[in-house]
A and B are shown apart, each in its own frame.
Chain A
Amino acid sequence: MAKGLDVGTSFIVLAQDSTENNANIAYKDFRDAFYVIKPTTPVATKMIEKGLTGKVFVKDSDGSFILLGQDAIEKAVERNDSAKRPMYRGVVSPKEKDAKRVLAFILQEVAGQATEPDEKIVFCIPAQPVDKGDEDFDVGYHEDTVKAILTGVGYSPRAINEAEALCYSELENDDYTGIGLSWGAGMVNVCVMLNGEPTVLFSTTRSGDWIDRMTAVATAESDSVVQAEKEHGTFVIGEQNDNPVLSAVSAYYERLIDYTVKQLAAALKGHKSLPKFTAPLVISLAGGTTQAKGFVEMFKVKLEENGFPLAVKEVRHANDPLHAVVRGCLIAAKIL
């Protein structure tokens, strides 16, 4: 049995067949976050452990408690603090020791032990960003780290680009020709595909987290509080909101879409590897950041405003924006 794995900045998602004939897919989602609580006394240790009953946590050898997933975010908000992420801008940082351990624990738990020797698993990796020369951004190290973790639990892992996976999932009816944009928490990944072959791949380093961070600065709230408001509140991109946090979120969403479309247009204008498309293209959008109301409409407006260099047939929101990438990874795992 083959599996797909989306190793994202905000979510880790596993996809696998739940039946023998590829008719049903089972998705397992886990929030990619952790929060460390270090008790100062033995009494505090007992009190904290009792308070964490029913929550997802592990006890570390130094006596601290590491909350994982959504429980980590909720606990951080409760303490007016921010939860940590094992990944930053799409990759694991070589400088963060705890992050690598936590990511390994989460991946091993979500993917589980391979069910057969050298079971195939395809996971996604980001492309090199066009807007940041960051030394910490090391896709090769990230790929090697995830491969080492998955090999450790018996898999034969392969990596593919995140936006390429999105195209595999969403462009079947377009002969696998078009553009895929995966809007994750840390970055936006772009793939221009021609008949199933990726021709242009790149990423930008501003996405959902950038909105959270900028809103947090503008409203003097923590990133976790902003994230919670953004995910549970009601707002429409481009429209005013009475809630100051959501009003700022809406404004930053518009700026993010404008920035990304500008980067996309600039990257594709005169690109040497860009094929000569004979028909207008479909642009597929997916990822958690695209779930906000008015996202697709604003994207269309910004395409027009910024003089996008290719003819566009349709801007299409993925059927299941949170699972489109991992679905593409599963399809790839069945072929590779």
Chain B
Amino acid sequence: MELYNQYATSFLLLLVGGIVGYVIGRLDVACSHPVQPASSWLTDGKAREPERTAPVVTAPANQISIDDRTFVSKISTASMAKTQPVSLGKTTETQDDITSSISKLAQLKGK
């Protein structure tokens, strides 16, 4: 009986020592590798999502665009003076009735 008690005590001491050793070993691992590994048996092979302080919201795409057409500055011809009365352009007159063209095209365009 006494022998049995000695074996039981030794077994318990060995068990406690093993558990304490394992815990100390895990703490050491945690301290030397502060970054969580991508996979380990503790995490079942799943990578942890990084923690965020606020949820990320992506703005939806829209059709708003800036008017980037070239600006037309004021065009002044005041500095250009005619010194003699000349007319620009030669005028010619032709007999050309465009009434039918106008009405046919207006009809096609539903005007």
Contact = CB atoms under 8 A, between A and B. Distances in A.
Contact of B80 (A24, A59, A145, A152): A59
A104 B75 CA distance: 7
A327 interface: yes
Given A61-B79, A105-B80, A148 B72 contact: yes
Given A59-B81, A101-B77, A108-B77, A30 B105 contact: no
Contacts of A138: 70
Contacts of B70: 94, 138, 140-141, 144
A202 interface: no
Interface stretch (B6-14, B19-27, B45-53, B88-96): B88-96
A110 B108 contact: no
For the residues of B in contact with A, the DSSP-based class is loop
Given A196-B105, A331-B101, A28 B75 contact: no
B90 to A, nearest CB: 6
Interface size class of chain A, counting residues whose CB lies under 8 Å from the partner chain: 35 or more
Contacts, number: 123
A23 interface: yes
Interface in A102-152: 104-106, 108-110, 138, 140-141, 144-145, 148-149, 152
A28 B98 contact: no
Interface in B58-111: 69-70, 72, 75-77, 79-84, 86-102, 104-106, 108-109, 111
A198 to B, nearest CB: 11
A195 interface: yes
Given A101-B76, A104-B75, A26 B92 contact: yes
Contacts of A327: 96, 98
A199 to B, nearest CB: 13
A58 interface: yes
Interface of B: 69-70, 72, 75-77, 79-84, 86-102, 104-106, 108-109, 111
Closest 9 CB pairs of A and B: A196-B108, A61-B79, A109-B88, A28-B89, A141-B70, A30-B89, A58-B80, A105-B77, A104-B75
